[in-house]
């Protein structure tokens, strides 16, 4: 996947997007996977990543160095079947995983399909999606 492919045209504007394939490992957290991808594959500066994800430079730096310790090797081939716009992850009302699950669920994937994509358990996806729906006011408590 080239850098130009990752700049998706979301709502008519150019935006950096993350391929769903970066979550296809059991080593990194969702934020670590995103930061590692943006740093290594898109060659973005920490300050740019921080701005895109609405986080501090320190957070991004610390997240990257943690990701590097856990997974020093590059990602290798990544499935770009679904591209998640960076703006979908920048809303701090949601955790990184909630943002990712919410985005993929919004384009009509089942919990099981999302679980396979993100290398997580179906029940984890159910729980995260339930939390997203509550935060969006889609569920009555």
Query: Quick count: other Cβ atoms within 10 Å of Cβ 54?
Result: 12
pTM of the model: 0.87
Mean pLDDT of 11-21: 78
pLDDT one-digit tens code per residue, 81-102: 899 999 999 999 999 999 999 9
Could you tell me if 57 and 47 are in contact, meaning their C-beta atoms sit under 8 angstroms apart? Answer: yes
Q: Is 39 helix (H, G, I), strand (E, B) or coil?
A: helix
Confidence of residue 138 (pLDDT cuts 50, 70, 90): confident
Instruction: Record the tokens describing residue 73, joined without a space.
Output: 């090797």
**Predicted confidence (pLDDT) per residue in 100-131, tens digit:** 999 999 999 999 999 999 999 999 999 999 99
Q: How far apart are CA 115 and CA 120, in angstroms?
A: 5
* Separation CA 111–CA 12 (nearest Å): 29
Quote the pLDDT of residue 5: 44
């Amino acid at each position: 996947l080239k850098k130009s492919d990752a700049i998706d045209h979301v709502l008519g504007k150019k935006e950096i997007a993350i391929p769903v394939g970066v979550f296809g490992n059991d080593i990194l957290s969702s934020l670590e996977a995103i930061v590692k991808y943006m740093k290594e594959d898109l060659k973005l500066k920490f300050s740019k990543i921080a701005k895109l994800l609405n986080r501090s430079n320190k957070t991004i730096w610390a997240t990257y160095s943690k990701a590097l310790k856990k997974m020093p090797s590059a990602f290798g081939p990544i499935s770009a079947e679904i591209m998640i716009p960076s703006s979908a992850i920048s809303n701090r009302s949601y955790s990184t995983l909630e943002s990712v699950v919410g985005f993929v669920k919004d384009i009509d994937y089942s919990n099981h399909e999302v679980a396979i994509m993100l290398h997580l358990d179906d029940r984890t996806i159910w729980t995260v999606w339930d939390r997203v729906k509550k935060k969006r006011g889609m569920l009555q408590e």
